[in-house]
Structure 1
């Protein structure tokens, strides 16, 4: 709904604009109701009722098909509170285990009813109590731990470390799904965004950053899986070169996520500089592994590590445009 209103001057000093009747009725407002007006980053204004969100619990039915896992996750991310899975025939134990596995990966989701031909999932997550920044930082911390485990599993020839990295990927996915659900809810509910002390633009940036971080976690998990598939140790010279490039990635530390939230150009430059250094040092690693028997596996390890490096730099660069520094005016 888009309407155009003329600005009126009342009382000689106050400017007023009338609110659309349809919106007022939908929000349950009347004479004397309070509304919140907040400037938007694009120069506009946000207007919403000064009361808790009245978003009603929503439900959806999805059919049991081969795409069930994706449909169940999609319904969760979309913000539905109740998800009912229905089948034309009795649901088998195999399908029940698939449903339970997916539900275990969704924060706040619980199976509340099981019948022969249906399963009902209830989401009891309170978005108002979930701070997007804390979730994103937690996700980042887990992913950097995964990268370290994956790298050390290769350098120390330790499969147990690789298994830890793979297992942690499930927790990263769980955090990512939770964050996306909260962000979507806040984007369609300005009052929720206000209580979370954030803006739509910030929510979009966090959504993109979360995807980069989630991808870095996936790459770390793939690196660990490659180690589990190929248990042949690296030669000393190749291992040293891999250590050199891995050290560059790990040395980014928390700078990418701090750059994202602080908009400090010095942090952005440091992270992007490390990416450039990684690309240069990679040439030596790729030269050493060329023509060896295990070349394919070594190339895969490098590919996944390079993706991690790129993802971390992308997170830092999301802080652009950099916080403005105004020169002294005379």
Structure 2
């Protein structure tokens, strides 16, 4: 770090010289324009004009579908390009795109908000995304994803309790909705990370929170996967259901109710900043694990029964991650809930002497 002395030019203008190496590295010369941005902490950020070009460079992903010979490969490439913010994805073939690849494309774009087929020929498919990031608020997307995965779990467990296979199938189908919100939110999050000026429009006041938000999204998406798997196990259990006592089913159902409480309260305390609630959620998760372990040993040797309980505990563990995030976020933002718990004292530490120019 260098220190620079301010110089007064004329009656009121204050100037400061810029580091010569920085000027050379950025190809700046006399008379060129630089942009000065005031940061939240009061510091100044100086940007060369090349960062504010009028023209935008758009990357087009050209996917050689002939090389996507493994199952799911094309779908994952499209999802990856979408999440990374690519607006144009072109799928090409040296001859003719096979029907299985066409079906794969049509299936996945249903889950990707704003992405559609703009042009299609026998050897090319052009996908384009038209999405305005400023239209979406991150907190609403998180709450929406939380509600969807909660519904999947609730329907799966109601299906277990009522022996309703139709309800379990509805829970499985609903998982696609969770994927849609997860892909959209992740795309927007990476967009906010690249363009800080848009992060506040999306309801992200501090870019330091982006890694935490990404972890929350991944946790919720994983909960949806676990809940879907529980629903599948409920369907598979039906052929053995007459061997299971209703009291056992009731115990597992009550565990699922507690699991719902854990991950829903975890999300709530992220937004409220209530660290005591977050701590109680983490302790509740620990207690729940102990109770579930005891029940696990008592369960009869019936296929899928223990797998259902194991899935519920996995949901509790993953769901409680948001409670840890809530505590860290509250400390970072100096939430009102930490005032009586944590006192922040600032100490001025001696700094090494700066080179003056």
Category of TM-score, reference length = shorter chain = 0.7 to 0.9
Residue of structure 2 in register with 1:272 after alignment: 282
- Structure 1, unaligned runs of 5 or more: none
Q: Output the CA distance in 1 between the equivalents of 2:236 and 2:296.
A: 20
Question: Is the CA contact 1:53–1:189 (under 8 Å) kept in the aligned structure 2?
Answer: no
Secondary structure of 2:96 counterpart: coil
Of 147, 151, 171, which residue of structure 2 is paired with 1:145? 151
Q: 1:22 to 1:61 in 2, by over 3 A?
A: farther
Q: Which among 225, 231, 244 is matched to residue 224 of structure 1?
A: 231
Matched residue, 1:63: 64
Q: What's the counterpart of residue 258 of structure 1?
A: 268
Corresponding position of 1:103 = 109
Asked if residue 124 in structure 1 is aligned to residue 127 in structure 2, the reply is no
Once residues 328 and 5 of structure 1 are traced to their aligned partners in structure 2, the CA distance between those partners, rounded to angstroms, is 30
Report if the CA contact (8 A) 2:263-2:316 is conserved: no
Q: Please state whether the residue corresponding to 1:90 is helix, strand or coil.
A: coil
Give SS of 2:91's match.
strand
Aligned alpha-carbon RMSD (Å): 3.1
TM superposition score normalised by structure 1: 0.85
TM-score by length of 2: 0.79
Deviation of 1:224 after TM superposition, in Å, equals 0.3
Structure 1 residue 17, shift from structure 2 partner? 6.5
- Write the distance in 1 (CA, Å) between the matches of 2:201 and 2:290: 46
Aligned to 1:165: 171
Maintained 8 Å contact 2:219/2:319 = yes
What's the CA shift for 1:133? Answer: 1.5
Instruction: Output one character per residue of 1:172-216: Cα deviation in whole Å (capped at 9) or x when no partner.
Output: 001100011111111111222243352221122111100001000
Q: The residue matched to 1:8 in structure 2 has which SS?
A: coil
Task: Return the alpha-carbon distance in structure 2 between the equivalents of residues 16 and 179 of structure 1.
Answer: 42
1:320 to 320, 327, 333: 327
Tell which deviates more after alignment, 56-65 or 158-167. 56-65
Counterparts of residues 15-94 of structure 1 (less than 5 Å) = 16=16, 18=18, 20-21=22-23, 31=33, 35-39=36-40, 55-64=56-65, 65=68, 66=70, 67-94=73-100
SS at match of 2:39: strand
Quote how far apart the aligned CAs of 1:284 are.
Answer: 3.0
Greater mean deviation of Cα atoms: 225-234 or 90-99: 225-234
Where 2:6 maps in the other structure, the secondary structure is strand
SS at match of 2:90: strand
Greater alpha carbon shift after TM alignment, 319-328 vs 200-209: 319-328
Residue aligned with 1:195, SS:
coil
CA contact 1:260–1:315 (8 Å) conserved in 2: yes
Would you identify which runs of 4 or more consecutive aligned residues in structure 1 move more than 6 Å? 12-15, 22-26, 48-54
Gaps of 5+ in 2: 346-357
3-state SS of paired residue (1:110):
strand
Q: Distance in 2 between matches of 1:187 and 1:218?
A: 26
Asked if the contact 1:146/1:220 (under 8 Å) is kept, the reply is yes
Q: What is the aligned counterpart of 2:181 among 165, 171, 175?
A: 175
Distance of 1:22 and 1:218 partners within structure 2? 52
2:292 aligned to which of 282, 287, 290: 282
More deviation, 266-275/50-59: 50-59
